[in-house]
Amino acid sequence: YQKHPHRTSEAAVQIEDDRTGMNVETLRRAFLDNLYYIQGKDLQLATPYDLYMALSYTVRDRLLQRWLHTQEVYLQQDVRSVCYLSAEYLLGRQLGNALINVGLYEQARAFLKEMNLDLRDLMEQEIEPGLGNGGLGRLAACFMDSLASLEIPAIGYGIRYEFGIFAQSIRDGWQVEQPDRWLRYGNPWEIPRPEYLVEVKFGGHTEGYIDPAGQYRVSWVNDRSVLGTPYDYPVPGYRNDTVNTLRLWSARATEDFNFQVFDSGDFARAVADKTYSENITKVLYPNDNTYQGRELRLEQQYFFVSCSLQDIIRRYLSYHSDFESFADKVTLQINDTHPSIGIAELMRLLVDEYLVGWDKAWQITRRVFAYTNHTLLSEALERWPVALFGNLLPRHLEIIYEINRRFLDEVRERFPEDEGRIARLSLIQEGSQKQVRMANLACVGSHAINGVAQLHTELLKKDVLADFYALWPEKFTNVTNGVTPRRFLLLSNPKLALLLSERIGQDWLKDLDQIGRIESLVADPAFRSAWQQIKDDNKRDLAEYILQFNQIEVDPDSLFDIQVKRFHEYKRQLLLAFFIVTLYNRLKRQPDLEIVPRTFIFGGKSAPGYAMAKLIIKFINSVARVVNSDPQVSRHLKVVFLANYNVSLAQRIYPACDLSEQISTAGKEASGTSNMKFALNGALTIGTLDGANIEIREKVGPDNFFLFGLTAQQVYDLKARGYNPRDYYDSNAELREVVDRISAGGFSGGDTNLFRPLLDSLLYRDDYLVFADYQAYIDCQEQVSQAFRDRERWLTMSILNSARMGYFSSDRSIREYSRNIWQSEPVPVEPESPAIRPA
C-alpha cells in the first residue's frame, strides 16, 4: 500500500476498481467475476482448476497495469536494455510467484479462506511450464526474477515449446516418458502478440550483385520461410512496480495453405507442409549437458534467435535512424552456445539488410554480445557439420567463413607459424567431416566470456578455452551462479520465511546478505526450537507426499538424505547408491548393528536416449525394492525414488532435507544450483570440491560442510598416470562386496545380466572415478552419521548454513553481470500516476 498511494482508500483519486484494486473485498469480487465470465462457472459448479484460473486472471489484471506502465517508462526513457537469449526457461508455476511479487499473497489467502478455499490447493492446480531441462534453464528463470526485482530493463527471449520436458513415470523401476501437453487446458500467463510477427528464412542459396552505388553485395535467396509469433509472459519484480517481459516465439506456417499444391489437388501435402513448419517449436530437446546434432535443433536455435534479433532491431529503429547507438542501447547475453548463431545473424542483418559496412557491423556485434559457458563436458560442445549448416543457412556459413578468415589472419600476425594454435582456434574443425564450432564463434563474437563458478572459470581459462584466454585474457570473467530467495525460500518454505521475518524483518528478501543476521540467534533457545520444529514439519509434509505417491512409509525422524538433479554419470548418483548397498551389506552381516536411520530420496530425469543413465535409474529403483521390503533392513533404511522431478516438486523437497548430495566428479559440474537451494533451506552438504560447492564451503565454513574426494587436479593427475578401477575393486573388501552382490543378481532377482553394462563401465573404465572416491565417501558419510547423532550440533550447523548463504542470491549474480559485463543500471518504475490513468 505504501508504494501505491493512489490505490489506497484514502487517496484523492479513487480507483479501487475490479481490475486493479488491491484490497481483500475487491479481490474477492474480481475473482468471482472472472470465475463467472471467463470460466463460465459459479462457485457451485467450479472445479479446482476453474478456481485456479479465476485467481490467475485476477492476479494477471493487476500485473498488466504495471507491465504496460513499465514498458512505457522504458520506451520514454530510451533505456539500455539487457536482452537475455536462452533456448530454455524452466519457470516453475507462475501463480504463487506472481502473488508474492505483486504483494497480494496474504490478501488472496484471506479472501479465499473466507470462502472456505485454500490458496495452496489452488496453486497446486497449475501445470508448470517445463521449458527447460535442468540447471541451465532454471538459472535463466532465476535471472529473469532478479532482473525485474533489481529494476533492470530486460527482456528474455526464448522458445514457446508446445511440449516441454517430458513427464517421467516409473514402470517396473524403469523411466517411461510421456509428452508434456502443458498447454492443454489453456494458459492465463501468456499474451499472444500476433502484431509483432516476424519472418524467418531457411535454405536456398546466395547471390552476389552490384548495388546502385557500385558496391558488391550478397543476397540470400531462401527456399522456405516460417513465421514467428511472440507470446509475452509478465515477469514481475519483487514488491516493486517493475514488470519485465519474457518473449517466447512460436512457429507458424507462412500461408495457411500452399495454394499451388492445393490447386493441383494435393490437399494433404499442403496441410503437411504447414505442419512441418510448425514442428520447429513443437518440442524441447530433452538433453542436459549433451547435444544431439539434429537439424531440427539448429532450426529451433536459428528460428528463435532470428525472431529475437529482428524484434530487437525493430524496437531500436522505432527510436533511432541508424545503428550508431545500437550498442549503447542493447546488450545481448547468450545462455551457452545455443543462441550463438545470433552472432552470424546480427552480421547478416546489419551487412545484408541494413547495408552497414562489414567493419562497422563487426564492431557493433562484438560490443553487444557476451557469452556464458555452462559446461566443461566435451560431449556438450555444439558442433554442426558444415554440409548440414550450409544447406539450412547458406548465407550464415559464408559469414562465418569470412569472420574466420579475418580472425585467423589476426592470429597469424600474433602467433606466426603456429599452425597448431590456428587449427585449434579456427571456427571450422577440419577433417573428414568439417564442422562449425559454436563455442569458438561465441568467443570470437563476444566482448565478454564468463564461467558460472570460480573453479569452472579457472578450468575454462586453463583447459577448454585456453587458446582464447591466451588471445584475450581481458574478455574472461567469472560470475558465480545464484538462486532467487523469493521462490526458493519464501514460496517454498513459508514457515522458515516467517520465522526469519519475525526475527530479522523482511529485508532479506531484497538483500539476502541480511540473512546473516540470524547468526546472532544461533544460541537463542526459542529460535533454535522453532528452527527444528519447522524442519520437522517440512519433513513430515514430504513424508506424507511419499506415502501418497510411492506408498512408502518413511520415518520423519530419520536423516533425510537427498540427491535430486538430472541423471548423468558425472553427477554420480551411483556413488550414493553404492553407499546404500554398503549399509545394506553391513546390516545383513550384522543384523543388530546400530546405525543412524536414513531415508534416501532420489529424483531426476534421464535423457531418453541416454541408456546408462536410464539403467542407473532402474538400479536405484531395484535397490529401493530390495531394501524397503527387507524387514531387517527397512527398520533403519528406506529408499525412495520420486517420479517426475520438476520445479514444483523441488520446492517441496528442498525445505525437508537434512543432507544434500553434491557428489559430482571434481572438475565436471560447472556450478550446480540445487546445492545453493538446499543449503539456503538449512540442509548440510556432503560434497566434492566441484563447481560452486567450493564457494559454498568457503562461505559456510569447513566445519559446516562434509567434504570428501579427489580434487580436480588430483582427478587430472590420476587419469594422466593411468587410472585402473580394478585396483580399487581388488583392494577394497566392502567395495568388492557391493559389486559382487550386484553382479550376482542381488538386486535383479538373480538376473546376472541386467546391470552388467553398469558394472562393466565401472570395472573397465570408470570415467567418473566412482571407485577412486568410494572409500573417502563412505568415511565421510560416517562423519555425517556421527554429526546427526548429536542433534544440537546438527541444528547449529543447519542454522549456520542458511545464515551464510546470502552470497548465493541470483540478485548478487545479476548485479555482477550488470556491473562487469552489461554496464546496465536500474531504472526505477514509479507507481503510475492517477492523472495518466484512463478514466
> What residues are annotated to the active site?
374, 565-566, 571, 673, 677
Q: Which of 20, 101, 446, 671 binds ligand GL4 (CB under 6 A)?
A: 671
Q: List Cα–Cα distances, 444 to 185, 378, 441, 475, 756, in angstroms.
A: 44, 19, 5, 10, 45
Q: Which of 175, 187, 300, 375 binds ligand GL4 (CB under 6 A)?
A: 375
> Minimum distance between the CB of residue 566 and ligand GL4, rounded to whole angstroms?
7
Q: Which of 62, 93, 247, 374 binds ligand GL4 (CB under 6 A)?
A: 374
Which residues are 331's β-sheet partners?
Answer: 82
> Minimum distance between the CB of residue 671 and ligand GL4, rounded to whole angstroms?
4
* Residue closer to ligand GL4, measured from CB, 132 or 485: 132
* Three-state DSSP class for residue 131: strand
452 near ligand GL4, judged by CB under 6 A: yes
Q: Please answer whether residues 479 and 671 qualify as being in contact, where contact means their C-beta atoms are separated by less than 8 angstroms.
A: no
> Minimum distance between the CB of residue 200 and ligand GL4, rounded to whole angstroms?
25
Give the start-end residues of each E strand in 471-619: 476-478, 559-564, 598-603
One-letter amino acid of 269: R
Extract the C-alpha cell encoding 703.
566445519
> Minimum distance between the CB of residue 606 and ligand GL4, rounded to whole angstroms?
14
Give the chain's length.
839
* Residue closer to ligand GL4, measured from CB, 289 or 801: 289
672 near ligand GL4, judged by CB under 6 A: yes
Describe the crossing of helices 48-76 and 24-37 by its angle, rounded to 10 degrees.
110
132 near ligand GL4, judged by CB under 6 A: no
Rounded distance, CA 464 to CA 458, Å? 10
Site track 461-500 with ligand GL4 (rule: CB under 6 A), x = hit: --------------------x-------------------
> Minimum distance between the CB of residue 374 and ligand GL4, rounded to whole angstroms?
3
> Minimum distance between the CB of residue 348 and ligand GL4, rounded to whole angstroms?
27
Q: How many CA atoms lie less than 13 Å away from 537 in the CB half-sphere? A: 10
Q: Please answer whether residues 223 and 203 qualify as being in contact, where contact means their C-beta atoms are separated by less than 8 angstroms.
A: yes
675 near ligand GL4, judged by CB under 6 A: no
134 near ligand GL4, judged by CB under 6 A: yes
Rounded distance, CA 535 to CA 767, Å? 37
- CA 739 to chain centroid, in Å, comes to 35
Q: What is the DSSP string of 608-625?
A: TT-HHHHHHHHHHHHHHH
Rounded distance, CA 589 to CA 595, Å? 13
230 near ligand GL4, judged by CB under 6 A: no
690 near ligand GL4, judged by CB under 6 A: no
* Residue closer to ligand GL4, measured from CB, 618 or 697: 697
Which residues are 245's β-sheet partners?
Answer: 155, 234
Range in contact with ligand GL4 (rule: CB under 6 A) among 9-17, 51-59, 135-143, 251-259:
135-143
* Residue closer to ligand GL4, measured from CB, 399 or 670: 670
Q: Which of 289, 781, 809, 824 binds ligand GL4 (CB under 6 A)?
A: 289
Say which residues have a Cβ less than 8 Å from residue 498's Cβ, sequence separation at least 6. none
* Residue closer to ligand GL4, measured from CB, 672 or 682: 672
* Residue closer to ligand GL4, measured from CB, 483 or 497: 483
* Residue closer to ligand GL4, measured from CB, 350 or 376: 376
Rounded distance, CA 322 to CA 342, Å? 20
> Minimum distance between the CB of residue 271 and ligand GL4, rounded to whole angstroms?
37
> Minimum distance between the CB of residue 803 and ligand GL4, rounded to whole angstroms?
23
Rounded distance, CA 305 to CA 85, Å? 7
One-letter amino acid of 395: R
Closest alpha carbon to 486 in 236, 691, 673: 236
> Minimum distance between the CB of residue 691 and ligand GL4, rounded to whole angstroms?
5
Count, residues near ligand GL4 per rule CB under 6 A: 17
* Residue closer to ligand GL4, measured from CB, 289 or 704: 289
* Residue closer to ligand GL4, measured from CB, 136 or 679: 136
Q: Roughly how many angstroms between the first and final C-alpha of the chain, as a whole number?
A: 21
Q: Which of 311, 669, 695, 811 binds ligand GL4 (CB under 6 A)?
A: 669
311 near ligand GL4, judged by CB under 6 A: no
DSSP, res 283: B
646 near ligand GL4, judged by CB under 6 A: no
670 near ligand GL4, judged by CB under 6 A: yes
Closest alpha carbon to 292 in 372, 378, 379: 379
Rounded distance, CA 31 to CA 728, Å? 64
139 near ligand GL4, judged by CB under 6 A: yes
Hey, what's the torsion of the CAs at 637, 643, 649, 653, to 10 degrees? 10
Q: Which residues contribute to the site for ligand GL4 (CB under 6 A)?
A: 134-136, 139, 288-289, 374-375, 380, 452, 481, 669-673, 691
